[in-house]
Chains A and B, each alone.
Chain A
Amino acid sequence: MGKLKTIARRSFLIGSAAIVGGVAFGAYLVKRDPENPLALDATDADAVFNPWVKINAEGITLVTPHTDLGQGAASMQAMLIAEELDVNLDQVTTSYGRPAAAYYNTAMAGEAVPFRSNDDSFVAGVARSTVDAVMKVMGAQVTGGSSSVTDSYEKLRQAGAMARETLKAAAAAETGLPISDLKTEGGAVVLPDGTRMAYTTLAAKAAQMDLVQDVALRDPSQWRLVGKPVQRMDVVAKSTGTQTYGIDLNIEGMVLASVRMNPRKGAPMRGFDATAAETMRGVSQIVALPYGVAVVADNTWRAFRALEEIEIDWAEAPYPAEQDDHWAAVAASFTPDRLDKEWRSDGDVEAAFEGAEVFEAEYRAPYVAHQPLEPLSAIVKVTDDRVDIWAAHQMPRFVQQRVAKRLEMDEEQIHFHNQYAGGSFGHRLEFINIDVAVDVADKMRGTAVKMIFRREEDFTQDFTRQIGMARGRGAFEGGKITALDLEIATVSSSRSQMARLGSSVPGPDMQIVAGAWNMRYSVPNLRVRGYAVPELAPTSSWRSVGASSAGFFAESFLDELIHAAGADPMEERLRLADDPDARAVLEAVAEMSNWGSPLGPRKGRGVALVTSFGVPVAEVVEVTDTDDGIKIDRVWLAAEVGRVVDPVTFENVATGGVIWALGHAMNSEITYSDGQAEQDNYHLSEGMRLRQCPVIEVRALENNPHVRGIGEPPVPPAAAALANAIFAATGTRLRDMPFFNTVDFV
């Protein structure tokens, strides 16, 4: 056992402000800090300073518990620790560590409570701390909600600083020199005469010391790494085919497997005939499951091919079989009994509409699949007293808890080895690959099973984005918007997701209206209401969650009103913008895009401003209406994120978010027929291709004291800005995504 286990780590728990009340858990439990998971298997020679830093004679390990999904989380976390620890990135290795309560996400709370994220009032702070306490008690180690950087920003620098100061104390004890004479640099304590004592040689001594907890964080002006363009730690591996993803792992003695599940998601299998498959080359086992059939083979392709030869009788879908009925269910939900919550009510819209000419419009956002490029997979080995799981997941602790429950074992017996993911976009918040691999491996105890989903299976089983519609009513006077009333009805992806976790969403679902209710505009009369459509096909979190649809609705409708009023889309938004960050991002994109300058014929610009995950983002899209269809020429984006930790990744991910949003708005949807998704591979749900990619320029603003992530916020404004640009270029207003059902794209 490590000696440092007893040291209090309360000072790490940034953000866990005192709880004023309203939590069902006792204050003692909330205040008790989670154990340091690194101490569990530390020896006397290991200095495990805290859950994030381990140093021994062999080297320096930084634990980066947020999963790297391609968003650069591993590098970002390492940079924050390394900044204060005074090590260079090429001197350390990173590890996901084991799933642990200590890695609970302190930042998710910000989006889980119903206060506008620019609302720093006392009551909002109390509510956030309440959710934070819940997250901590649950030990929710979550990567999502663009929260990794917020969660890590202070906590990981503190972790680095405490380790550094403790190493200095160890060096002082060894040399008899006063601590104030010691410096640190490049992974070593430097003595006044220039002698370097490497951290690795000091580790054994440091492990005997009391952890120095009273540390001051450096001023940003002294930073070497944070905010600087450094090389991402994984970029060489990812450019040479040497990065190992979950799908690439090879576990001693493993067999290969694949599965066909009922394409009518969630429904069981009635029966099957695998006679033809059984005798196919390489097939060792056909495994019947309640929801489908798996084939175990010696080669993935042989498993795929055998699956195609199995005749299966599937039960009916637990939701409407045909797409039209899904839309009808959404359309029928704008009723008082389906009202989830009236989220915003400024002024009096009804009074404002009286006697005025009321402008109306209706919008649609379809189901859309996630489909990161690495197909779902998991390797699982079950024995009677231990389970090992290798996969990439955004919620490692939930995997552990879920598998323990599924196999009726103790959590401590479940060993989850998190992996680099070939993308996620919310896909790896679900457990379907884990469940199937566990079920098959449970029937083959002692043998590791690598379960790989065919792309078609992955598409068919995808828990998509929510489907939804919006109805807007508005009025204007003298070129100014005077009233805006937005009703949004979607299925609740949060409830759908939480139900699969065996949990529920307390109270109304803010995601139905996310990006709309919190619009940073002062319209004299403004109302936003959310309606919950009863569960249809299962849905989940899709990059930017509710704001991907509600942001499109709000900014499309506002744009229509502004055009109807005869005002300029940028000027009127600037006039309505009611906080400095919102104004600043609008002004930035106006300047970047040279808004107002003359465009050639058949060209148009559109703008949109949506705040999601606490980040206001403005985007301008410029298009040309060519003879071959709409061409997206350029995009400008400005986002207020407080502080950019990794500027290279910031630019890459923000740009990628725009491409993601534009691609899916153009050409992607999932529709159901006979209870099954009709799109089962990329030719039917394509996203953006390279030839369609516009020139994109992004700018980060760093005025706000809150540090925020950029994974999701670039997504919500893009679809609206594109529709608004197409209207400006062609006079055609696109109200239904995907737009390729209405116009052609080059």
Chain B
Amino acid sequence: MKLNVDGKSHEVDVEDDMPLLWVLRDELGITGVKYGCGIAQCGACTVHIDGVAVRSCQTAAGDVDGAITTIEGLGTPDALHAVQDAWITHQVAQCGYCQSGQIMQAASLLGENTAPTDAEIDEAMDGNLCRCGTYPRIRAAVKTAAAKLQGA
């Protein structure tokens, strides 16, 4: 099957029901996408399909019908996305393992709503677990990114 990932087209030979997560990690080597729980409980595997956050561990490869963006395609150390930039400003990460998913979730939220309220941020980010407890910085970084995107 054909997949468009981070602007590149890939031909992969996998089962229709292989979760997108494992196509990205093991077939395409995009390890910025993380495996945490495999059952849509942690959000570590979050990617975008046509700009909207999905849990790649629960998305069958055969069901993908749009362009996939991963953390590695959202921005790079030399060309940061506004959300990544805010994450660096606030030094959000501890172990950092959840942060790919957190950033993709936040970018999806801000793609739809550049001025989320505190309650909207809490609701949008609630499914992304952070075992290190970086939640206060995540809230602050989402607001900084929102302000930046509004100014842009």
Contact = CB atoms under 8 A, between A and B. Distances in A.
B137 A248 contact: no
Interface string A295-306: 000111110100
Interface stretch (A108-116, A141-149, A476-484, A657-665): A657-665
Contacts of B136: 655, 693, 695-696
Interface in B1-47: 14-15, 18-19, 21-22, 25-27, 29, 31-39, 41-42, 44
A684 to B, nearest CB: 9
Among A250, A652, A653, max chain B CB count under 10 A is at A652
B68 interface: no
B92 A72 contact: no
A374 interface: yes
Given A241-B100, A242-B77, A301-B22, A70 B94 contact: yes
Given A238-B99, A374-B34, A689 B126 contact: yes
B70 interface: yes
B108 interface: no
B72 A240 contact: yes
B95 A231 contact: no
Contacts of B53: none
Contact of B137 (A245, A421, A652): A652
B109 interface: no
Nearest to B25: A300
B63 to A, nearest CB: 15
Interface string A419-454: 011111100000000000000000000000000101
Contacts of A374: 34, 36, 95, 97
B88 A656 contact: no
Among B15, B125, B133, max chain A CB count under 10 A is at B133
A70 B99 CA distance: 12
A245 B97 contact: yes
A241 B33 contact: yes
Interface string A664-691: 0000000000000000011100111111
B147 interface: no
A707 B71 CA distance: 38
Q: Do most interface residues of chain B lie in helix, strand or loop, or is the interface mixed?
A: loop
B97 A373 contact: yes
B123 interface: yes
Given A237-B77, A299-B26, A423 B95 contact: yes
A221 interface: no
Interface string B47-60: 00000000000000
A241 B32 contact: yes
A235 B18 CA distance: 32
B26 A657 contact: no
Given A301-B26, A690-B138, A238 B133 contact: no
B19 A652 contact: no
Given A256-B26, A652-B94, A660-B133, A235 B139 contact: no
Nearest to B85: A239
Among B75, B84, B93, B103, max chain A CB count under 10 A is at B93
23 contacts: A70-B132, A234-B96, A235-B88, A238-B93, A239-B92, A240-B71, A242-B32, A242-B77, A281-B15, A300-B22, A371-B131, A372-B97, A454-B38, A648-B91, A649-B91, A652-B91, A656-B132, A657-B133, A682-B41, A693-B135, A693-B136, A693-B139, A696-B136
Interface of B: 14-15, 18-19, 21-22, 25-27, 29, 31-39, 41-42, 44, 70-72, 74-77, 80, 84, 87-88, 91-100, 103, 122-123, 125-126, 128-139
Given A234-B96, A238-B99, A374-B34, 8 more contacts: A232-B91, A239-B80, A239-B87, A241-B74, A655-B133, A656-B132, A681-B37, A691-B122
